[in-house]
Amino acid sequence: MYATVRRYEGVIDTSEAESLVEEDFIPTISEVPGFVAYYWVDAGDGTTMSISLFEDQTGAEESNRRAADWNRENVASLLQNPPRSQLLRSSRTSQPRLGMMPGLLEEVP
């Protein structure tokens, strides 16, 4: 199991960003092979985070490419800073349950 965590700081309008993500980005990312789940969090003070879960590294890496393209085409005017992202791998392969991703997460180089 792989996770991509993206952190956006300096988001000018988090409500608008949330609407765009819900209407357009979630359908886009859910088409990536190996997609498991997507979570978006408004952390306050113009900071948002997203967590994407995939069955394999290929899907997680493809989600990063699609996110970069989507951000550039759809929300660049709302972002004061580029997102910071991490690709993480779980030490276990079982599916997440009840909001928990099993196993230790380690960064993929």
Mean pLDDT for all residues in the chain = 86
Domains in the chain: ranges and CATH:
2-107 (3.30.70.100)
Is the confidence at residue 103, as pLDDT, over 80?
no
11-30: average pLDDT: 94
Q: Which residues contact 37 (CB under 8 A, 6 or more apart)?
A: 51, 52, 53, 96
Give the separation between CA 82 and CA 11, rounded to whole angstroms: 10
List the one residue out of 54, 39, 53, 55 whose CA is nearest residue 7: 39
Cβ neighbours around 60 below 10 Å, total: 24
Cβ atoms of 42 and 21 within 8 Å: the answer is: no
- Tell me which residue has tokens 């997609």: 35
Model's pTM, two decimal places? 0.81
